[in-house]
Amino acid sequence: MIRTPSGEDSLIARYFKPLATDPGAFGLVDDAAIIPASGDDLVVNTDAIVEGVHYLPDDPPGTIARKALRVNLSDLAAKGAVPAGFLLTLVLRQKDEAWLAAFAAGLGEDAAAFGCPLLGGDTVSTPGPVMVSVTAWGRVPRGRMVHRFGARPGDRVMVTGTIGDAALGLRILTGKAETAALDADPAARDMLIGRYRVPQPRCGLAAAVRDYATAAMDVSDGLAGDLTKLCAASSVSADIALSRVPTSSAAARLLAAGSVELETLISGGDDYEILCTVPAAQCEAFRAAAETAQVALTDLGTIVEGAHPPRFLDGQGRPAALTRLSYSHF
Amino acid sequence: MIRTPSGEDSLIARYFKPLATDPGAFGLVDDAAIIPASGDDLVVNTDAIVEGVHYLPDDPPGTIARKALRVNLSDLAAKGAVPAGFLLTLVLRQKDEAWLAAFAAGLGEDAAAFGCPLLGGDTVSTPGPVMVSVTAWGRVPRGRMVHRFGARPGDRVMVTGTIGDAALGLRILTGKAETAALDADPAARDMLIGRYRVPQPRCGLAAAVRDYATAAMDVSDGLAGDLTKLCAASSVSADIALSRVPTSSAAARLLAAGSVELETLISGGDDYEILCTVPAAQCEAFRAAAETAQVALTDLGTIVEGAHPPRFLDGQGRPAALTRLSYSHF
């Protein structure tokens, strides 16, 4: 299925065939792949990353590959699905063997680590920026995909990991001044950069999300904007305590120094954490499952009735006025 | 699943939600789509088309959309699969509502005509050329996908439709001199341009390909090169009669006038016909099925033993020396 105008044949055989370990991939010599019949529903998702938009031109090729796959695995995890395979579309400016070798190595390591084999794809040339598009699918028991809709008043709003690190990592990479307070701390800088370049999809939490969440999505375009979407899809609103938004110690230092605003963190993109709503009675069991999966979990607030956007409340219980909810492409 | 940074929300709701008629698409408000469990194998394929590479910047948006979907439907048909749904990744320079409206209209008509609903996708921005990537899947009874491998000595080599029209259509659009003989015949020119812009996937022949073909693929990068790939995958060779290559009357006129060589037609891309091999004993039944499906079918020659590339034989039975087998991106 990787379409191979003759110039690409050797490229694909050399770099991508070793990743096509699933029998349904037919070693990438056929025009299509097979997903065998099974009793599970398939959850399918596609996300593309573009050079200069979702990653920087001089990011290491291995991290670009990992990010392209992981942003899709993050969606699957939030839907309660176990990864099953992916297709890769590579839009390249030229045949750069060193870049491709590093790209394929990173991709192969992640495909193996997440149990998500390459099944096929397409490689085309462009005079413009490089683009990597992945379509991934996962399995859920029939009828068990977790939706954006489904949140009910009284549900707790939970989020995994920490928020805003990736937005800060991007600011470091692009030389923005507000991260100067970390100039003397290379480990903190590297951590934030790493969070931008290589998201950590919460695949280990997929089964628990399926078992306990009434609604879920991954946070990719900013916590504030994504929660707004979840609430709109569920026809509810939410009250969130700004002070509860989980931050890394590096982010907390920048907040404490006044270098960045919390608003920047909750409207920044690229977190790839799971945002979900869980009935109060299930929270303990959900917490226990997260602990077993070694995924940090924070209770941000509560789902309430109403059609208004979620309120982000400050220490005095006053709604903060957010000027920017999320990243937008247009 | 169409990921919607807030600026894209209205765009997607307006233009693409009406196309998402399948219940598994959840009206495009969720982060992923569902393909429900069934007893069929799923055949998946992905092909991207890039502005300036696979279509021209001033091609009508509706034909760009149709081509993006149809090149994938063509692959599915050659694998014996019935279309079931697709994901769309749109990489756009800017939000051009008139372009999008026409694009979505063409896409919606084809999705309905081919019974292949939109299930989700991703929309991202780029400073470079526009790109449209489609991942489509279809259903085949368990274990019944037709492969590139499987051709056996003695099988007949069959191809649908006519070869080389799209390559000539592109030459007309790019103002190449060799089509001057058609300058006075706008209908012939329009036919060739139409063959370049809007391929005709042979979906009606999918069941017959499944029932009778030992190997099959769609011709997308040139008949000569694609047959070479099919033979290599099957560990066989072929003897093809050049005089049998089916051409349209417009192409035949250009050949007769000496304006183009047959080599140009059999190495040009974008035919999107089905190339397959059929045991001699099954040819009559396959022909009858093609007639019922109203798809023209031509017997090009025979599969032979050997590891050498297929031979294209002239009127005297001498192998023609082809300098260029197919289109290559790199």
| Residues A204, A181 share a domain | yes
Interface of B with A in 26-85 (CB under 8 A): 26, 29-50, 52-54, 75-76, 78-79, 81
Residue B93 lies in a domain: yes
Residues A94 and A192 in one domain: no
Angular region, B129: left φ>0, alpha ψ -120 to 50, beta rest: beta
pLDDT in tens, B39-97: 899 999 999 998 988 899 999 999 999 999 999 999 999 999 999 999 999 988 877 88
Structure-token match 């069959």, residue found: B158
- A110 CB contacts (<8 Å, ≥6 apart)? A65, A66, A69, A70, A116
What is the average pLDDT across B179-185? 89
Residue listed under structure tokens 């176990």? A82
pLDDT digits (tens, 9 = 90+) for B87-145: 999 988 877 889 999 999 999 999 999 999 999 998 888 888 899 999 999 999 999 99
Domain range for B78 is: 6-141
Same structural domain for residues B13 and B98?
Answer: yes
- Closest alpha carbon to A76 in A102, A103, A40, A38: A40
pLDDT of residue A53: 83
Q: Is A3 annotated as a binding residue?
A: no
Best of B4, B6, B223, B324 to substitute, by most chain A Cβ atoms within 10 angstroms, is: B6
Residue B150 lies in a domain: no
pLDDT (0 to 100) of residue B4: 40
Query: Looking at the 3D structure of chain B, how many domains does it have?
Result: 2
Per-chain mean pLDDT for chain B: 92
One domain for residues A104 and A25 = yes
A23 C-beta neighbours (distance < 10 Å), count: 12
Q: What local confidence, expressed as pLDDT, does residue A7 receive?
A: 59
CA dist., res. B106 & res. A39, Å (int): 35
Q: Is the same domain home to A74 and A184?
A: no
Judgement on whether residues B307 and B172 belong to the same structural domain of the protein = yes
Check the annotation: does B218 bind a ligand: yes
In a shared domain, residues A105 and A29: yes
- Output the pLDDT for position B177: 80
Shortest distance, CA A97 to any CA of chain B (angstroms): 12
Report the C-alpha gap between A229 and B292 in whole angstroms.
50
- B61's tokens: 């948006």
The annotation status of A218 as a binding-site residue, yes or no, is yes
Amino acid B3: pLDDT: 39
- Hey, is the C-beta of B22 within 8 angstroms of any chain A C-beta? no
Out of B7, B148, B327, closest to residue A31 by CB = B148
Q: Among A141, A172, A204, where does a domain finish?
A: A141
Residue B225 with chain A: CB contacts under 8 Å? 5-6
User: In this predicted structure, what is the pLDDT of residue B2?
Assistant: 39
B210 and B126 belong to one structural domain: no
Residues B204, B287, single domain; the answer is: yes
d(CA A186, CA A179): 12
- Other beta carbons within 10 angstroms of residue B211's beta carbon come to 15
What span, in angstroms and rounded, lies between the C-alpha atoms of A160 and A278?
Answer: 13
Q: Which residue has the higher pLDDT, A314 or B158?
A: B158
Q: State which residue of chain B sits closest to A225, comparing Cα positions.
A: B6
CATH code (residue A57): 3.30.1330.10
Q: Number of residue pairs across A and B with CB atoms under 8 Å?
A: 240
For residue B278, is it within any domain?
yes
Residues A323 and A225: their CA atoms lie apart, in Å, by 11
| CATH number of the domain encompassing residue B249 | 3.90.650.10
The H or E element spanning position A141 is strand A131-141
Which has more pLDDT, A283 or B22?
A283
Query: Do A139 and A62 touch, CB atoms closer than 8 A?
Result: no
Weakly modelled stretches of chain A, pLDDT under 70:
1-9, 323-330
B168 and B300 in a single domain? The answer is yes
What percentage of chain B exceeds 70 in pLDDT?
95
Cα B208 to its chain centre, rounded Å, is: 18
Q: What is the pLDDT of residue B291?
A: 97
Q: Is residue A322 part of a domain?
A: no
Nearest CA in chain A to B122: A47
Q: Exposed/middle/buried for B59, CB within 10 Å: 0-12, 13-18, 19+? A: middle
Query: B328 in a domain, yes or no?
Result: no
CA distance A178 to B305: 69
- Residue A26 and residue B41 in contact, taking contact as beta carbons nearer than 8 Å: no
Instruction: With cut-offs at 50, 70 and 90, classify the pLDDT of residue B326.
Output: low
Cβ count near B287 (within 10 Å): 16
Instruction: Note whether residue A293 is domain-resident.
Output: yes
Does the pLDDT of residue B1 top 80, yes or no? no
ipTM of the complex: 0.88
- Residue B246 CB neighbours (<10 A): 19
Please list every residue in chain A whose beta carbon sits closer than 8 Å to the beta carbon of residue B34.
Answer: 41-44, 145
Closest by Cα among B172, B170, B173 to B181: B172
A 109-168: CB under 8 A from B: 119-129, 131, 133, 135, 137, 142, 145, 147-149
Residue A227 DSSP SS3: helix
Q: Quick one: pLDDT at residue A321?
A: 76
Alpha-carbon distance A78 to B169, whole Å? 46
* Structural domain contains residue A214: yes
Q: What is the DSSP string of A280-309?
A: GGGHHHHHHHHHHTT--EEEEEEEESSSSP
Both B246 and B176 in one domain: the answer is yes
Any domain includes B324: no
CB B163 within 8 A of CB B265: yes
Q: Are residues A127 and A174 in the same domain?
A: no
